[in-house]
Chain A
Amino acid sequence: MTEKLSAETSLRGYAGVLTTQKLPYGLVPAELCPVIHCVKSLNHLADRDVVALNPNGYVRTLFRVASEHNVLFATDRCNSFCLMCSQPPRDVDDSDRLSEHLRLIELIDPRTREMGITGGEPTLLKDGLIHIVRKCKEFLPQTAIHILSNGRLFYYGSYAHNLAEVGHTDLMVGIPLYADTDHEHDYIVQSRGAFDETMVGFQNLGRHGVAVEVRVVTHRLTVHRLENLAEFIYRNLPFAAHVAFMGLETVGFAVPNIETLWVDPWDYRHELEQATRYLADRGMHVSIYNHQLCTLPVSIWTYSRMSISDWKNEYLPICSACTARERCGGFFSSSIRARHSEHIGPFEVLPA
């Protein structure tokens, strides 16, 4: 990675070259290492970041040292088709990406605190996912691994068992659950039988001692039975290490489905308060993500986390006058443009 490259620069030992310069053809012999020139900007990259260079000149940043939110995109495929999917799946054969993932893990800074594995649906890599976790255990023993999965393939007890067998000591599988009954959940994830598979998946992971997190996206189809869902979670998944209520992100499929999904967070603040309290009062570990403090009852502020990935986080102009801004989760940059609560208003004084 360089701003200035000349014929004298020694490139021995480099895996590739990225430069903003326009280079004369042949300056670097192609057999020495791949070179991509005329890159618009390299400001977002730092030492020890990992990038992938494509022969067509496409540069993908796979890992940023400066970020707390590094994610390995295991696959673009998915076996669900959620109405609000933020990363709409593509039906492509990307099974050859496994070797890239395994190579990436070797290159990641071992001091990394946390890394996500997401997709698409990572479990579609089948044993590949188990390889990835095993490799993480080997190369990144100090890095917490969070897999975001719909949990459906853990319906197969042997698969849950295989994941547990890796013996990763800081592994959590986050699995979305949208309803306390099957048809409602199946509708939201647009897949018949998904609820059953996910619920059995939860149980199998729990039985094998893999930590699980329950993720609930709050939108018009989930909020009216939110407390019932909390009760269902407490009764059926009391072993869950964490329950997260997540605000809707207006990207991906949420854009075309916005009329079906949108509800002003202000309008479900009581439901969210009830559900949060229900779980917290019973000793479960609860968080609220992607919500603005001015839409939340003060009694549940303590569960609200600053969670939005660093590169997606923004505030409205009126937020600059807000005394709660330091503690406020703010907005997704996508959502701030699309639609946000009509009840955003700064706190002149911080509520007690």
Chain B
Amino acid sequence: MTATTTEQAAPQASAPTQLTMAGALNAALRDAMAADDRVVVYGEDVGPLGGVFRVTDGLQAQFGEDRIWDSPLAESGIIGTAIGMAMYGMRPVVEMQFDAFSYPAFEQMVSHVAKMRNRTKGRMSLPMVVRIPCAGAIGGVEHHSDSSEAYWTATPGLTVVMPSNPADAYSMLREAIDGDDPVVFMEPKSRYWSKAPVALPVTTAPMDRAVVVREGTDVTLLAYGPTVRTALESADAAAAEGLSIEVVDLRSLSPFDDETVGASVRKTSRAAVIHEAAQFGGYGAEVAARVTERNFHHLAAPVLRITGFDIPFPSPKLEEFHLPTPDRVLAALDTWEWDD
């Protein structure tokens, strides 16, 4: 079995077409599997069904059951066997069906996936990608809308990323699969069906970089995954009130791009972070602390967090009360003392 390089098998660049994030992820998996036959895909219902979100649609028909198959229903088993496969030189890309169902695999993730490289002084790396559909706003019942990023980002050895749009989804997934570090690849479910014009194959900014997605001068909104849209909507609404908001899409949660974020914050001197997860002990606490530590003398006000409440993720009819909205973002910004 020989691995071909990405260049050799790279498909012809196409003209921009309207692509959903799910479609972009599907294309990324297809291209990665075609480019490198060490890439295998498995998980629950990823075969003939194509995944409950259809991200693996059509892949089994194209690549066969030795490249992509339905595993038994066992998350620890999926991650644990992927470790063994990666040890043998494969590049498994496995799917956790929903965020909250990754918890049975917590031990394998934290004790082994994250630590293997370190334990072996770099002699054994685990090139694998764990795809986790995450977060809410799709009307899911209990256990289908969690934001588990803080668990993973608190774990040294894991790389944790979350795209917010189809182009990034494609580019970041290809990069995650090609890299030698294990990557937790979080996919915001509420963004699966949102479309953008993309010409594949597309290469966006490197996976570990944050990107300024809207320029502004007064406030930096730090967002990722599903809340990037919230931030952009907030910026639109604020513009109507004469407030200029810069929006940074973090993209990579671990590592954190201090440089891009710091540059933006020093420019605007005010920052707020937005996420769906609960506030207490959440990822936003890390963001606020880092931004403050590194930019205190440039800050005109404390870094704010606009997050979900500190409650288990609510039922579908109640989730709208929990999720951060542009109104809440703007209300939060109003709590700062402004000079003018």
A is bound by B = no
Which residues of B are at the interface with A, using a C-beta cutoff of 8 A? none
The interface of chain A, by Cβ under 8 A from chain B, is none
